[in-house]
Structure 1
Amino acid sequence: MSIADDEAEKAYPTRYWNGTHAKEQFYCDTDDLQEAYLRGRTALPTNAEIEAVAKWNSCEWDGVDSYAAKDEDDAWDYAGEIPGFHAEYIRQAKEMLEIARKAVDE
Structure 2
Amino acid sequence: MSIAEDEAEKAYPTEYWNDGSGCKKVFAANTDDLQEAYIRGREAPPFDVEVEAVAKRLLWRSCKKWDGVESDYVAKDEDDAWDYAGEIPGFQEEYIRQAKELLALARRAVTE
Count how many residue pairs are aligned between Structure 1 and Structure 2. 106
Q: Among the aligned pairs, what percent are the same residue?
A: 67
CA distance in 2, matches of 1:72, 1:3: 21
Rg larger in structure? 2
Structure 2 residue runs without a partner (length 5+): none
Contact 1:54 1:92 in 2 (8 A): yes
Deviation of 1:75 (Å)? 1.1
Q: What TM-score do you get using the length of structure 1 for normalisation? A: 0.89
CA distance in 1, matches of 2:19, 2:85: 51
Change (3 A) 1:78 1:19: farther
Q: Corresponding residue for 1:16?
A: 16
Q: Which aligned runs of 4 or more in structure 1 are off by greater than 6 angstroms? A: none
Where in structure 2 are the equivalents of 1:1-106 lying within 5 Å? Answer: 1-18=1-18, 20=20, 21-60=22-61, 61=63, 62=66, 63=68, 66-106=72-112
CA distance in 2, matches of 1:10, 1:54: 27
Structure 1 residue runs without a partner (length 5+): none
Deviation of 1:44 (Å)? 0.6
RMSD: 1.6
